[in-house]
Chains A and B, each alone.
Chain A
Amino acid sequence: MAKKTISLTIDEKPVSVKEGTTIMEAAESLGITIPRLCYHPDLSLAGSCRVCIVEVEGMGFFMASCSVAVWEGMVVRTNSPEIRQARRDIVELLLDNHSKDCQTCERDGHCELQNLAYSMGVRRRLFEGKRKEFPVDESSYSVVRNPEKCVLCGRCVRVCAEIQGVNNLSQHGRGFNTVVGPAHLADMDDSVCIQCGQCINVCPTAALLEKSNTDDVWKALADPELHVVVQTAPSIRAAIGEGFGMEPGTPATGQMITALRLLGFDAVFDTDYGADLTIVEEAHEFLTRLDDGGPLPMITSCSPGWISFMEKFYPALIPHASTCKSPMSMLSTLAKTYYAKKKGIDPSKIYVVAVMPCVAKKYEANRKEHMMADGRPYTDAVLTTRELIWMIKCYGIHFVNLDDGEFDAPLGLASGAGDIFGTTGGVMEATLRAASELVTGKPADRLEFTEVRAVEGLRETYVAIGDRSIHLGVANGLQNAKVLLDKVVEGSEKFEVIEVMACPGGCIGGGGQPYPPEELKVLDPELLAKRAKALYTIDSGKKLRKSYENPAIQELYDEFLGSPGSEKAHKLLHTKYEARLPRGVR
């Protein structure tokens, strides 16, 4: 049944919208953005912050425009003197219970509360009162929780529950003492948190932040004894430009490499090389499983948030996860073995920095499975895209004007298949490019598997490889992934291979990516699509598009590893997983 059209007046301008439209949406159709804080279009309605209030004639009280549907003949005022005053009061009251340290706060300049205070015209603090006092939780390798900066908008609680299906965060207590945290306000490290960092992305303030490792990296760069190498994940090049005012979706590989050299890194490597290697190992593992009867489906293992989720929520699926280390961990391992040997450098003098779109990578780097025999990690420090942007600004580098640099050999040469790892469906497509050739023994008849591209949350499809029809699933965002995972657990549907990325859109939407420009919302599908397009553009512009054909990878096997799946490859490039506590409720 077609929805009725409703006619109303907003700020004395007539407007007609479909029945069920909220006042906020109706105002947007007129080009008016009503200020908001707790509202996010992809999350359920909370209506708790009251920043978006408007005046509705005849109501006698201000209404939250995010959660009131329009009605016929409604007369709305979004900017009367009274409503402006009331909104300003609300923001002033929020500020009253908030730290006064904007200048030293990590979100200075990117803070929604700060922006609101400015645009509401708050020019001084009127209400002096008691402020909440809670300890900062730094227990996690990935996420720092600072409840003193929390405005109780509940966006983190909702993203954790509704997008990620983790339900780690909740509001505890009531009134002035309300605080957001894991059950029993346990340490994040001791909770069902899977370290994806989406709570950081949606947090309007600095109540949730990544654990910073920039100091470690500055220190390493200043140490003349150390050979400091860096690797950058595929999705960094697609998003880093945003930090310097470039149009979202502008590939900035060349400038990024030059900036890293200016920062003082001794070698700049490409995590895409690790991705190519992952594909070779994973395709080999997949075909072995196909021939030996399983366990199938094989589920990809690049996303550490997903791995953490599996270990806490779906331990029964552990045998299904590919044993391949992630591209980051593969490259770090090779940097301290293969590269060290090739260059004649003592591995203990090599310091590996990984720039990742992800905060869970900080956790992955510290997993005991990724430690060398001497107890030091293969990956010494993980920086998020945001942290690298800050370091480049801190150094005073004019990023936009930089000349293009090139990655260093041998761990910097990569195929286009490695680039697309950064977006949902990319690992699957890269695997298909490799697997079809391995199965048939003939060059693949096509390179692009568009049926696994631009997956909005969840997709199942069949792809022919040789005379086999492969049933595959692709999911991003763990609430979406649950649909596929439950089918596997219940055995209701047979899959051969499943790609799971913890974050919406894949790594390009990771918990460590730049905060979006003010006109775009966090996790905006438009923003994610632009970043994905950048990766596909880079891929299609490369001659080398198949991981197997990467000569640097071929050289690695010839000189060092032997063959894919060899004993040495297993020792260095594969890992294992274990069920972890506390156990989540899925």
Chain B
Amino acid sequence: MSTSTDNWEQVQATAKQVLGDNVVKFIESCRAEPNPESQLIAVLHKVQAEYGYLAEAHLDAVAQLMQIPAAKVAGVASFYHYYRLEPRGRFLINICMGTACYVKGADRVAQKLMDELGIRFGETTTDGVFTLEGTRCIGTCGLAPVMMIDDKVHAEVTPDQVPVILEKYLDQVRRAGSETSGRT
């Protein structure tokens, strides 16, 4: 992989600023291996783990630092369902819409979430606290209907419980101060 672009120093400085030391170090370790282009997906995972989503600036910096055309990087990022291209809220709510959860009333729970939060699937509340996603089976059908908020599983959720659960997270935010701008 060529590092001979005449603006290489500038590329590195911009990348460091946009991606942060952790990601830049990871990319550099990828570059040391044969066929570093093949590490693109791993790099994008790393960026998403760090920032919660892939901003255009992230993708451009990855493209420049890995010397892979930006169109290709953006093409890969937009192809895979796992990559988020929009900022996500402080908490990510995943409501399981798999068969078991669905028959146990996940649709009503989802509707309640949408009503309470004023957003639809794939959206983030204006205060940046919650992002709502629908997901397929998470493998705990015995607990249906299941909702995950970040890594925590909420089992046998009923529509009535939704406001109570949300309130807990909102309380957490309030206690942490007025910082509600999300993980961007």
* B6 close to A316 (CB less than 8 A): yes
* B7 close to A583 (CB less than 8 A): yes
Specify which of B2, B7, B56, B64 is in contact with A184 (CB 8 Å cutoff): B56
* B60 close to A183 (CB less than 8 A): yes
* B6 close to A173 (CB less than 8 A): no
Output the nearest chain B residue to A317 by Cβ-Cβ distance.
B6
Q: Which of A312-352 contact B (CB under 8 A)?
A: 315-316
* B74 close to A184 (CB less than 8 A): yes
* A183 close to B59 (CB less than 8 A): yes
Specify which of B4, B5, B72 is in contact with A167 (CB 8 Å cutoff): B72
Question: B49 within 8 Å of A by Cβ?
Answer: no
CB neighbours of A169 from chain B (8 A)? 71
Output the nearest chain B residue to A168 by Cβ-Cβ distance.
B71
Q: List the interface of chain B (C-beta within 8 A of A).
A: 2, 4-7, 56, 59-60, 63-64, 67-75, 78-79, 81
Output the nearest chain A residue to B56 by Cβ-Cβ distance.
A184
Known A173-B79, A583-B64: A183·B4 in contact at CB below 8 Å: no
Max count, chain A CB within 10 A of own CB: residue among B5, B59, B60, B71 = B71
Question: A174 within 8 Å of B by Cβ?
Answer: yes
Q: Pick the 3 closest A-B CB pairs, nearest first.
A: A167-B69, A170-B75, A170-B71
Q: Which of A152-176 contact B (CB under 8 A)?
A: 161, 167-174
Question: A585 within 8 Å of B by Cβ?
Answer: yes
* A489 close to B6 (CB less than 8 A): yes
Q: Mark A13-42, 1 if CB is under 8 A from B, else 0.
A: 000000000000000000000000000000
Question: A504 within 8 Å of B by Cβ?
Answer: no
Q: A490: shortest Cβ distance to chain B, in Å?
A: 7
With A and B bound together, what is the CA distance between A61 and B180 in angstroms? Answer: 56
Q: List 14 A-B contacts (CB under 8 A).
A: A168-B71, A170-B71, A171-B75, A172-B74, A174-B81, A183-B59, A183-B74, A184-B70, A191-B71, A192-B71, A315-B6, A489-B6, A584-B69, A585-B70
Q: A194: shortest Cβ distance to chain B, in Å?
A: 13
Max count, chain B CB within 10 A of own CB: residue among A161, A183, A191, A192 = A183
With A and B bound together, what is the CA distance between A450 and B97 in angstroms? Answer: 71
With A and B bound together, what is the CA distance between A24 and B59 in angstroms? Answer: 39
CB neighbours of A422 from chain B (8 A)? none
CB neighbours of B71 from chain A (8 A)? 167-170, 182-183, 191-192
CB neighbours of B67 from chain A (8 A)? 585
Max count, chain A CB within 10 A of own CB: residue among B63, B74, B78, B79 = B78
With A and B bound together, what is the CA distance between A585 and B56 in angstroms? Answer: 16
With A and B bound together, what is the CA distance between A582 and B73 in angstroms? Answer: 15
CB neighbours of B7 from chain A (8 A)? 315, 583
* B63 close to A183 (CB less than 8 A): yes
With A and B bound together, what is the CA distance between A585 and B65 in angstroms? Answer: 10
* A183 close to B79 (CB less than 8 A): no
* A586 close to B5 (CB less than 8 A): yes
With A and B bound together, what is the CA distance between A184 and B73 in angstroms? Answer: 10
* A489 close to B60 (CB less than 8 A): no
Q: Which of A366-391 contact B (CB under 8 A)?
A: none
* B74 close to A585 (CB less than 8 A): no
With A and B bound together, what is the CA distance between A161 and B69 in angstroms? Answer: 9
Q: B125: shortest Cβ distance to chain A, in Å?
A: 25
Q: B158: shortest Cβ distance to chain A, in Å?
A: 34
Output the nearest chain B residue to A165 by Cβ-Cβ distance.
B69
Max count, chain B CB within 10 A of own CB: residue among A170, A316, A585 = A585
